[in-house]
Amino acid sequence: MKKALKAASKIYIRHLILVFITIFMVVALFSVTQKHPYLFSTITTLIYAATMYGTCWHIGHDDSRKIPGSFPDKTMPVKVAALTAVVPIILLIIRVAAPDIWPIDIPLVKGECDFFIAGCFVKGTPDMIYRIWYLPFASFVPCGNFALYIAELFVLPVLIFTGYFVGLTRFSILEFISTKLVYENKNKQNKKAKK
């Protein structure tokens, strides 16, 4: 369980870093976010998916080391996914059960102006916190769509399972692509040298 806590904390820290990077990108690229919100969210979602997949790949890769008497823990992704789902589930429960628990007098929180997408208004502080927690996917989840709020909860567990089990097999997409490119370039150079 200690390894699972360590892995979950690593994922939480990376998630928060990615949320702050997305906030920075919203500020820096404000006109793009307003004109093309789906393009912006596609970019931030790809960054998020690549980072989380890579983190979980390394966890699986480290767990697959050939040490005598040590075997990979096949329940590790389940434990990590459950631990990383705690905060979002609490935020979702608070958003549903008490949507006005912490009233803040800011136009964005009160629903007086758009949140990221035209026509998307936040409904209270818990909704605002939940929307910020999943800010990389903001354009894909319309405000108030509860089914998509729940669907967001499954993005990270899917990345955890995929990254972990691919890491266990020690298959690296980047190594595969780079070897293809390197050998292809070497073959082209060898053919040119022979002519």
pLDDT for position 115: 62
Reported confidence tier of residue 16, pLDDT bands at 50, 70, 90: very high
CA 184, distance to chain mean position in Å, is 33
pLDDT for position 31: 75
* pLDDT greater than 80 at residue 165: yes
The tens digit of pLDDT for each residue in 150-161 reads 888 898 899 888
pLDDT for position 17: 92
CB neighbour class for 81 (10 Å; exposed up to 12, middle 13-18, buried from 19):
buried
* pLDDT greater than 70 at residue 109: no
Cα atoms in the Cβ-side hemisphere of radius 13 Å centred on 123: 14
* Dist. CA 189–CA 181, nearest whole Å: 12
Amino acid at 162: T
SS3 34: helix
Alpha helices (runs of H) in the chain, residue ranges in sequence order: 2-28, 30-35, 37-63, 76-84, 86-97, 107-110, 125-133, 146-152, 155-168, 173-194
The tens digit of pLDDT for each residue in 29-59 reads 777 777 888 888 888 899 999 998 888 888 8
pLDDT for position 193: 65
Average pLDDT over residues 77-98: 86
The tens digit of pLDDT for each residue in 56-72 reads 888 888 887 777 666 77
111, 121 in Cβ contact below 8 A?
A: yes
Cα atoms in the Cβ-side hemisphere of radius 13 Å centred on 28: 7
* Dist. CA 179–CA 162, nearest whole Å: 22
Average pLDDT, the chain: 79
170, 64 in Cβ contact below 8 A?
A: yes
